[in-house]
Amino acid sequence: MNKEEIIKALKKAKEKAKKRNFVQTFDLSIALRDIDLKKPENRIKTIIFFDKLNKKNKIVAFVEAKYRKYAENADLVITEQDIKEYNDKRKARKIAKEYDFFIAMPTMMARIARVFGKYLGPRGKMPDPKFGMIVPKPENLPKIIEKFRTAIRINMKDNPNINVKVGDETMDLEDVAENIMKVYETLIEKLPKRRHNIKGIYVKLTMGPSVAIYERK
């Protein structure tokens, strides 16, 4: 699979989709084959950071009150003093649903687990040190928050298919194609049989039909 093939499919997806009164996203779907998801090592969980993405993620930062100024570029800042407001399960559930990524200082983790754990956990949104979501040094918060603005999450547990948003119709198709290549290359490195585990790769606009980038014959 190369960039020229991807751009050709993106153009076709745009042509086939009707114009809507909202900005449609490009949705990438990758169907896998011959992969045993009963084996934990085959359940892919990762985060990919794109260089360009027009629609930015909404970020929550859990920080100690004295370090609040370092998280001012987050969409929502929750301190140890604020967190008791979210004992209201409706408020906590709403935050878990509406925000994309959650960044935290390590001193906040016990409170987060107690109040938000049952809402963030099932969505795969708990701050994870493996991906740099837990930030010990407050001065690093602004950079980490901005980094996650263009991140996407892949969490394949039960279904051998991956579906992610890779851009929108207002973006340069070269940039969308680069995002697709990044997903593909990341995935290949994590699959047990590399590209031989890929059955098909498809792209579509939100309300449009799928167009094949690649299909195994």
> What is the architecture, at CATH level 2, of domain 59-150?
3-Layer(aba) Sandwich (3.40)
pLDDT at 217: 78
The class of domain 3-44+156-215 in CATH terms is alpha beta
Q: Are strands 101-104 and 59-62 parallel, antiparallel or unpaired?
A: parallel
Q: Give how far Cα 68 sits from Cα of 63, 77, 105, 125, 141, Å.
A: 6, 7, 11, 21, 10
Structure tokens at 58: 């909404």
Q: Which helix (H) or strand (E) holds 130?
A: none
Predicted local confidence at residue 61, as pLDDT: 98
Tally Cβ neighbours within 10 Å of residue 46.
16
AA letter at 89: K
CB 159 within 8 A of CB 30: no
Spatial distance between the Cα atoms of 192 and 198, rounded to a whole number of angstroms: 11
CA dihedral sign, ordered 17, 98, 145, 164? negative
Q: What is the rounded distance in angstroms from the CA atom of residue 8 to the CA atom of residue 14?
A: 10
Provide the residue ranges of all domains of the chain, joining segments of one domain with +. Answer: 3-44+156-215, 59-150
* pLDDT by position in tens, the chain (length 217): 889 999 999 999 999 999 999 999 999 999 999 999 989 889 999 999 999 999 899 999 999 999 999 999 999 999 999 999 999 999 999 999 999 999 999 999 999 999 999 999 999 999 999 999 999 999 999 999 999 999 999 988 888 999 999 999 999 999 999 999 999 999 999 999 999 999 999 999 999 999 999 998 7
Number of H helices, E strands in the chain: 5, 9
144: left (phi over 0), alpha (psi -120 to 50) or beta: alpha
Phi-psi category of 167—alpha, beta or left, where left has phi over 0 and alpha has psi -120 to 50? left
